[in-house]
RNA sequence: GGCGCCGUACCCAAGUGGUAAGGGAGAGGUCUGCAAAACCUUUAUGCACCGGUUCGAAUCCGGUCGGCGCCUCCA
């Protein structure tokens, strides 16, 4: 299985060839834990999960590293704006450390519910300050830094290829210098590596450094931690599309300037999920969280399925109507899987040619830049191909689910779902009514059961029911 | 201003040179006490519009109109 990924660095699909045979190292930009994740954030982690699962499916030993940004950062490099962690702390009365802990837990609770596999390494910025300081020292030694106004800056003019991935034109950037306000910067796109002057009162996250007590610039952690866990050169770095022009651009500059080596081989970026107003934001009060979707009656996997319906590099507009359609579709899929499992049918150990043909196409679509809409379409094709034996179809579906992550194995066989007593007695009562030809009563009970999430089917061989997923 | 993207059926959404995947919704049929499910049939001679290239274009090129994202902490 040869995987092709769209590489932002070259703006084209390129075959994935890892640094080391059989191994794939990937670093994913993780959350800043000052608030709950919104579903737009989560879309990106679903994309990364698909990437990871596809690599593993293809036989690579994957090392998936993700950072957790638990250091408060300025809202921009101009030293204005607010520190998000501090802001959250002030608003909730919790300490910044507790805030970080609380939202980190909330984040992983969400990802777990979405069947997103835990990264092999989760690294917290606050636990890697020494590594960041070491990196700044290396940059200092190589002449890429300068001190001004108490802060240590990275000088982008000392790095040849600055802005290459983002197609930034340095002269255009320079011309914008006149309107910049930070007099400390030699070039307006220079960025801070280490702050020693905090304008914030109550700044509690401070560390000693050769340049004084302070805290790291926000690009630093990803460079320092990714290299620590994956080496100075590694295969894949991914994140949201918004990171291309600033965050990743600066990471590349400081990483490659420090080592003198090419850093990352494949850059993969997930597109945004939009809401009605366009961009999703956390600053508008209530925003779309996974919990909110659950409150509206959706299963987290409905959202995962919804995301699978669009390609990760396409913007996707969120709407409850579209999510509702995804939910229905997933439910129908589960019903078919349940039907295949009926009568103790087990997945076959090996695939015959007809089922394998579907799996082959599925793999081809996944391998071509993670085309989940197409892959999903092959799943549907297999599921409803009645010329193929249930055991074969099941086996094929399970294979596909290794990448899709829809928990198809967990679906109970038709008629074997757990049922609460009340529903069970309602079903029995309805049976009686039908025997007595009291169809009005039977239909009323059927409606009640419907509302409880139980579908009723009267077949020639008796009544069967199914719990919607 | 710089970078980039999109406009495909009623809805969501793939497809980037060879004649429109899939899902949701709808319609007809078989079945049923009625339903549901399942199965069969069905819903874009056309992919914003106008030109061009080509044997052939939703796909390439040019233009027009419309919509969007990033560039500032954000996935």
Q: Strand B: which of residues 35-54 in chain A lie with Cβ below 7 A?
A: 37-38, 40-41, 43-44
Q: Which residues contact A71 (CB under 8 A, 6 or more apart)?
A: A85, A125, A126, A205, A215, A216, A218, A221
Q: Strand B: which of residues 1-40 in chain A lie with Cβ below 7 A?
A: 29-32, 37-38, 40
Exposure b/e, A161-178, CB count within 10 A at least 16 = b: ebbebbebeeeeeeeeee
Tokens matching residue A203:
């700044």
Number of CB atoms found within 10 A of residue A416's CB: 12
Distance A212 CA to B69 C1' (A): 40
Distance A8 CA to B62 C1' (A): 27
> Which nucleotide does the CA of A325 lie closest to, via C1'?
B24
Name the residue among A327, A333, A267, A264 with its Cα closest to residue A298.
A327
Exposure b/e, A138-155, CB count within 10 A at least 16 = b: bbbeeebbbeeeebbbbb
What's the rounded mean pLDDT across residues A194-209?
A: 77
pLDDT of A279 higher than 80: no
Give domain limits for chain A.
18-270, 278-410, 421-467
> Which nucleotide does the CA of A42 lie closest to, via C1'?
B75
Q: How far apart are CA A126 and CA A148, in angstroms?
A: 24
What's the rounded mean pLDDT across residues A286-312?
A: 94
Distance A80 CA to B73 C1' (A): 11
> Which nucleotide does the CA of A379 lie closest to, via C1'?
B22
Q: How far apart are CA A435 and CA A458, in angstroms?
A: 12
Question: pLDDT of A446-455, one tens digit each?
Answer: 988 888 888 8
Q: How far is CA A155 from CA A264, A311, A446, in A?
A: 21, 37, 71
What is the average pLDDT score of chain A? 89
Name the residue among A392, A53, A69 with its Cα closest to residue A222.
A69
Burial class (CB in 10 A: 0-12, 13-18, 19+), A217: buried
Q: Are A44 and A240 in contact (CB under 8 A)?
A: yes
Residue owning tokens 């950062």: A73
pLDDT of A120 higher than 80: yes
Q: Are A72 and A35 in contact (CB under 8 A)?
A: no
Give the three-class secondary structure for A43: helix
∠ CA A194-A255-A138, rounded to 5°: 60
**At the top level of CATH, which class does the domain A18-270 belong to?**
alpha beta
Number of CB atoms found within 10 A of residue A255's CB: 25
Classify domain A278-410 by CATH number: 1.20.120
pLDDT of A228 higher than 70: yes
Q: Strand B: which of residues 93-152 in chain A lie with Cβ below 7 A?
A: none
Selected residue with higher pLDDT from A234 and A197 = A234
Residue owning tokens 């409150």: A295
pLDDT of residue A461: 74
Give the helix/strand (H/E) hosting A454.
strand A454-459
Question: pLDDT of A43-80, one tens digit each?
Answer: 999 999 999 999 999 999 999 999 999 986 644 434 44
pLDDT of A176 higher than 80: no
pLDDT of A178 higher than 60: no
Complex ipTM value:
0.95
What's the rounded mean pLDDT across residues A167-189?
A: 69
Query: With pLDDT > 70 as the criterion, what percentage of chain A qualifies?
Result: 93
pLDDT of A235 higher than 80: yes
């Amino acid at each position: 299985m040869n995987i092709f990924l769209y590489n932002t660095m070259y703006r084209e699909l390129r075959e994935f060839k890892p640094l080391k045979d059989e191994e794939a190292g990937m670093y994913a930009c993780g959350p800043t834990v000052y608030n709950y994740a919104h579903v737009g954030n989560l879309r990106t982690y679903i994309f990364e999960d698909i990437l990871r699962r596809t690599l593993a499916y293809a036989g690579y030993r994957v090392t998936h590293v993700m950072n957790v940004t638990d250091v408060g950062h300025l809202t921009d490099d101009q030293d204005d704006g607010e520190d998000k962690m501090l802001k959250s702390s002030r608003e909730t009365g919790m300490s910044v450390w507790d805030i970080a802990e609380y939202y980190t837990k909330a984040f992983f609770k969400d990802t777990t519910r979405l069947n997103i596999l835990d990264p092999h390494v989760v690294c917290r910025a606050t636990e890697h300050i020494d590594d960041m300081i070491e990196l700044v020292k290396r940059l200092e030694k190589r002449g890429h830094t300068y001190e001004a106004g108490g802060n240590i800056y990275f000088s982008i003019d000392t790095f040849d290829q600055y802005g290459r991935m983002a197609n930034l034109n340095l002269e255009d950037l320079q011309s914008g210098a006149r309107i910049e306000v930070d007099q400390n910067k030699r070039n307006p796109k220079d960025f801070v590596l280490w702050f020693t002057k905090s304008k914030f009162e109550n700044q509690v996250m401070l560390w000693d450094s050769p340049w004084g007590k302070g805290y790291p610039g926000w690009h630093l952690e990803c460079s320092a931690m990714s290299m620590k866990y994956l080496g100075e050169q590694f295969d894949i770095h991914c994140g949201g599309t918004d990171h291309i022009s600033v965050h990743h651009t600066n990471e590349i500059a400081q990483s490659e300037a420090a080592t003198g080596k090419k850093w990352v081989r494949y850059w993969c970026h997930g597109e945004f999920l939009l809401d009605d107003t366009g961009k999703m934001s956390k600053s508008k009060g209530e925003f779309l969280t996974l919990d909110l979707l659950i409150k509206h009656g959706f299963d987290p996997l409905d959202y995962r399925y919804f995301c699978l319906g669009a390609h990760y590099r396409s913007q996707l507009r969120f709407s409850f109507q579209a999510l509702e359609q995804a939910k229905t579709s997933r439910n129908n899929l589960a019903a078919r899987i349940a039907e295949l499992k009926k009568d103790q049918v087990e997945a076959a150990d090996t695939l015959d040619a007809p089922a394998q043909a579907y799996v082959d196409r599925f793999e081809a679509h996944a391998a071509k830049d993670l085309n989940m809409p197409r892959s999903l379409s092959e799943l549907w094709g297999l599921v409803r191909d009645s010329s193929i034996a249930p055991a074969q179809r099941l086996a094929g579906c399970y294979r596909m689910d290794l990448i899709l992550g829809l928990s198809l194995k967990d679906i109970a066989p038709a008629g074997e779902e757990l049922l609460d007593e009340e529903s069970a007695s309602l079903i029995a009562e309805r049976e009686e009514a039908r025997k007595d030809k009291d169809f009005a009563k039977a239909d009323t009970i059927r409606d009640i059961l419907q509302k409880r999430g139980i579908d009723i089917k009267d077949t020639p061989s008796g009544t069967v029911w199914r719990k919607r997923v």
